[in-house]
Amino acid sequence: MESFLHFVRGPGFLFAFAFMALGLLRQFLLMIWQIARTYSRAGDKSLPYSAIAISSLEWVFPVRKLRDQPVFSLTSIVFHLAVIIVPVFLLGHIELWERGIGLAWPGISNTSADVLTLVAIVTGLALLLQRITAKATRALSRFQDYALPLLITIPFASGYLMMHPAINPFPYTLTFLVHLVSANLLFILVPLTKLSHMALLPGSQLVSELGWHWPRDAGSRVAASLGKEGASV
């Protein structure tokens, strides 16, 4: 157990984190290349950049969506905030980065981390329940839409049990192993699943806008593909 734990927290973590970082970088560079390629072929190159920027900010900070589905939207916003703040600003994690690469930054208190961890668990399960019970979202959901919220809660739940051994019914080593394996698995899944939106979301509205700026010869090429050259519209 100890040797496997050493591997997971050492080479296993380095591989998973590097896979995530390089995978997200690849996704981001591909998005930039597709944007540049689409823009070069666009018939109309005038883009409403201010509107695109505002729309992008509305997706990053979806406050307006609270009007349509207030409970679901608020739950989603709180969930995203919790799953970002706790791993990045937990003092224990920061200390590990400082020991590893000498880089540190201000963190949150353990009490705040406890509260946000419980919030992440509750809101993650609530989002999963909403997908299961709501007919509209269930019709559009795939396997990963159900699996990811559940997978995300595992490192939070195991981390909380590690920090509170008095209520932990499992051996500490086993809990630590589950925490590390689940976190490493999420790192690997980030560039392979919808979790990659953390890198792609800022450019999604620009891609959507460019999609409507057809190349000059788009109409004739579509007609040729359909065998309708010269047909009246």
Instruction: Note the pLDDT tens digit of each residue in 69-99.
Output: 677 778 888 898 899 899 999 998 998 888 8
**Higher pLDDT residue, 68 or 103?**
103
Grade residue 57 by pLDDT with cuts at 50, 70 and 90.
low
Q: What is the 3-state secondary structure (H, E, C) of the chain?
A: CHHHHHHHHHHHHHHHHHHHHHHHHHHHHHHHHHHHHHHHHCCCCCCCHHHHHHHHHHHHCCCHHHHCCHHHHHHHHHHHHHHHHHHHHEHHHHHHHHHHHCCCCCCECHHHHHHHHHHHHHHHHHHHHHHHHCHHHHHHCCHHHHHHHHHHHHHHHHHHHHHCHHHCCCCHHHHHHHHHHHHHHHHHHHHHCHHHHHHHHHHHHHHHHHCCCCCCCHHHHHHHHHCCCCCCC
| Mean pLDDT estimate for the chain | 80
